[in-house]
């Protein structure tokens, strides 16, 4: 009788732990920012402008870790300049940041300068 009771308790504990683990996994997935399929593709595509293969790979990993496809996100900052579409915050190299500063001083908007310097310099 005691043995059956111990087995029943053990099964309940295992079932409970399984539910907790699955819930934690679902919560971790929900922490990712939801974006539309097209937005997700833009986020991945903009990684091609990173300065090296390592940075391009890191950029794609950040996108996969930060975003999930789950409906259009109107709060995501997407913009297109000179035929280049990007979304979200851009991580600029020192060279690109200097390009942005120079372009702004020459009269371009900061948003446009960031996109063009990120993509072309």
Domain, as residue range, for 82: 32-120
Which residue in the block uniquely carries the two structure tokens 């990684």?
47
Which residues share a beta bridge with 34? 68
For each of the chain's 121 residues, which pLDDT tens digit applies? Answer: 545 434 444 444 444 434 333 344 444 557 999 999 999 999 999 999 999 999 999 999 999 999 999 999 999 999 999 999 999 999 999 999 999 999 999 999 999 999 999 999 9
Residue 9's pLDDT is what?
A: 45
Structural contact between residues 121 and 95, judged by C-beta atoms closer than 8 angstroms: yes
Strand partners, 69: 35
80 and 114 co-located in one domain:
yes
Q: Do residue 23 and residue 39 come from a single domain? A: no
pTM, two decimal places: 0.73
Q: Are 72 and 86 in contact (CB under 8 A)?
A: no
Count Cβ atoms below 10 Å from residue 25 Cβ, excluding itself: 10
Q: Are residues 10 and 43 in the same domain?
A: no
Number of domains in the chain: 2
Cα 27 from Cα 33, distance rounded (Å): 12
């Amino acid at each position: 009788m005691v043995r059956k009771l111990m087995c029943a308790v053990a099964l309940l504990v295992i079932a409970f732990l399984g539910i907790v683990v699955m819930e934690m996994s679902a919560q971790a997935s929900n922490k990712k920012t939801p974006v539309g399929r097209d937005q997700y593709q833009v986020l991945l595509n903009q990684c091609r402008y990173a300065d090296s293969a390592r940075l391009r790979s890191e950029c794609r990993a950040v996108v996969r870790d930060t975003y999930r496809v789950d409906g259009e996100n109107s709060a995501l900052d997407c913009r297109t300049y000179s035929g280049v579409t990007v979304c979200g915050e851009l991580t600029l190299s020192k060279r690109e940041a200097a390009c942005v500063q120079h372009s702004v001083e020459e009269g371009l908007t900061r948003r446009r300068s960031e996109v063009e310097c990120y993509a072309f310099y």
